[in-house]
Amino acid sequence: MALLETITSPAALKALPADQLPALAEEIRTFLVAEVSKTGGHLGPNLGVVELTIALHRVFESPRDTLVFDTGHQSYVHKLLTGRQDFSKLKKKGGLSGYPSRSESEHDVVENSHASTALSWADGIAKGRRLSGESDRHTVAVIGDGALTGGMAWEAINNIAVDKTLPLVIVVNDNERSYAPTIGGLADHLATLRTTRGYERFLDWGKRSLARTPVVGGAMFETLHGVKKGIKDIVAPQGMFEDLGLKYLGPVDGHDEQALERALSKAKDFGGPVIVHVITQKGRGYQPAIDDDADQFHSVGKINPETGLPFEVGGRIWTDEFNDEMVAIGRDRPDVVALTAAMLIPVGLDGFAAAYPDRVFDVGIAEQHAVTMASGLSYSGLHPVVAVYATFLNRAFDQLLMDCALHHAGVTFILDRAGVTGSDGASHNGMWDMTLTSIVPGLRLAAPRDGEQVRKQLREAVDVSDGPTVIRFPKGDVADPVTAVRAVGDVDVLFENSGDEVDLLVVGVGAFAGLAIEAGEKIAAHGRSVRVVDPRWVIPVSDDVVGLARRAAAVAVIEDNLVSGGVGAAVTLALRDAGVDVPVHTYGIPKRFLDHASRVQILEELGLTADQVVLDLEKRL
C-alpha cells in the first residue's frame, strides 16, 4: 500500500505522476477487498469507480468544488482519497460510515443514502453559490444509471437543462445495474449509447458523399437535413440529453483514468451543464464478483477475500418467510401480482418472479410510481403486493395516501428491514413507517412476531380488497416461534399469571413480542399480575386491545418504531376515546436520527432491552 498511504488529501493525489495512477488504482482495489471482506459493506460499487474517483479528485478541487455522490454506496474510494484510510470499524460504532458523512469530513456533503437525490442537491448548491458570487466553484454530481430511473432525478434534469451557464457536471456512472440490472426505457437508451457510434461521423461521411453528387437547387441541403433528422435518434441517442439542453460527452471508458481526466476537464471548462457518460464495470478487479452474479457483491457481509464466499452461512431470515409464502399464494391466487423498486432479491420476490415471471413488475428506483401503478393494478381487478424496505416507503407517502388509500385500493405493502437496522446508519433505519401509516384512513398494519405469523398475516392481508394493508418485519434472522396461550378476539395472549384483572398489560409489537414476554415474566417474578399480548394487527387499535386495557391498572407498549405517533400513541388515543382511564407507558425509538452501530448496541442505548424496560416500569407502576 506504499502509494495509497501517501494519499492523505486530494492535493497529494494531484501531485502523483500520471504514470503511477494505475498502480494506485490496483492498490485501492486490493485495499477494498481486504478491508471490506473483514467488516462487510458495499464492495462491488466501489470496485467499479476507482479510476473515476481518482480522475474526479485530480480534475476538481474538493472541497472548494463540491462532489455529490448519489446514494453514496460508492463513496469508499472518495473516503480513501480524502484521508480516511482506517476501515477497521467500517459501519461500526465509532468507525467510518458506510455513506458520505458531514461529521467525518469537509469533503462530504450529502449523507443520506436514498437514491436519485444528487442532481437536485447539485442544482441547489450550484445556483446558491452563483447567487453568492462564487461562480468559479464547480459542482459535480455522480449518479448511477440505476438512480436515473428515479423520477426525482428527471425533475432535477428538467430544471438544470434550462440554465445554460450553470457550472454543473453530471457524471452518469453506467454499469448497467443498481442493486440488480437496470431496467426500463432509460436502460435501453443507455445501452444504445454504449454500442452506437456518434452521428457526426456519419454526417461527415454523408457530406463527403453528397459533395460528389450534382446539386439540384436545394436538394442537397434538404437531403442532408433529412439524413440528420432521420438518423439522429438511431445513431445518436445522446440527442435525448442534448434536446433537453445538456451538453453530452461520452461514452468514456470508466477505467481509463487519462481519458476520464480529459473528458472531465472538457466538462469543467464548458461553462454550462454537462453530462459525462462513463462506462464502468461493477466489481472491477475482483474475480469472484466478475465470475459470479454481481448483485451478490453489491453489499457483502464478512467474506473470504480469496473466494468471495461468506465465512458463516446465516440462518433463515424474515424475508425468507415472505418469499416462500408469496410463491404459495401465487399458486393459489392468480390475481396476486408483485412490484419491486429495483430490489427483487433483497425484498424476497425472486422466488415469486421465478415461478410467475409475468406477474412481477420491477419499476426501477421509483417507489412513487410503484405505489400509484399498484393502485391502477388494483382497480383492474388484481391484488398487488408492493415490497420495499421500510425506510423507502417514506418516499411514496403521498401516493399511499392519495392514490391508494383515498381510492380504497386493495394493495398490500411489505416493509422489509423495519425498525432499527443499525450499521447502514440514520437513513436506513425503518423507524417511521408505523407513525406515517397510522394517519392514513382505512389502512391496516400488521407486525408479525415470527415466521408463522408472517405467512398467516400475509394471507390475511391479500384477502383485503377495500383498502391498503401493510406487513412489516425487521432485518436479520427470523424470531423463534411464539405460541399463544389463548386468543381474545384477534389478539394473541402470550403470557399471563393471573385471572381477569391485572396490574399490567404489556403490548408487544411484532418482533418485540419476545422482549415483551421476557419483561412481563420478570415483572411477574416481582409479585405483580401481568398479561402480555400481541395485537397482530396493530393499526388501527382493535376493540379487543381496548377491552383488555379496561381490565388492567396500567398498559405498556413496546415497539420498534418512533414513540412519537407510533403504536403506543395510537393505543393512548384509542383508550382516551373509549373512556378508559389507565396510564400508558410507551417504549420505542426517540425522535432523532440514529448513528450507525449494531442493532444490539442501538437498542441497548435506547433502553429497549428487557432489563431496562423492567427497571423503568418498576419505577412507574
Q: Are strands 491-496 and 504-508 parallel, antiparallel or unpaired?
A: unpaired
User: Which of 79, 359, 395, 531 is labelled catalytic?
Assistant: 395
- What does each C-alpha distance from 288 to 45, 285, 309, 428, 467 come to in angstroms? 14, 9, 9, 27, 46
CA–CA dist 468, 474 (Å, integer): 20
247 is catalytic: no
User: Which of 111, 321, 367, 460 is labelled catalytic?
Assistant: 367
User: Which of 282, 284, 449, 528 is labelled catalytic?
Assistant: 282
Which stretches of 40-182 are DSSP H helices?
44-47, 50-59, 76-81, 118-131, 151-160
CA–CA dist 487, 415 (Å, integer): 26
367 a known binding residue? yes
176 is catalytic: no
**Positive or negative: CA dihedral 449, 452, 456, 458:** positive
CA–CA dist 216, 220 (Å, integer): 7
286 a known binding residue? yes
CA–CA dist 608, 563 (Å, integer): 12
Alpha carbon 286 to chain centroid distance? 24
348 a known binding residue? no
CA–CA dist 347, 180 (Å, integer): 12
73 a known binding residue? yes
62 a known binding residue? no
395 is catalytic: yes
CA–CA dist 355, 334 (Å, integer): 12
| Grid cell digits, residue 582 | 389507565
CA–CA dist 564, 581 (Å, integer): 20
For 147, phi then psi, to 5°, come to -65, -25
Residues placed in the known binding site = 73, 113-115, 145-147, 175, 286, 367
Q: Which residues are annotated as a binding site for Mg(2+)?
A: 145, 175
Q: Which residues are annotated as a binding site for thiamine diphosphate?
A: 73, 113-115, 146-147, 175, 286, 367
Give the active site residues. Answer: 282, 367, 395
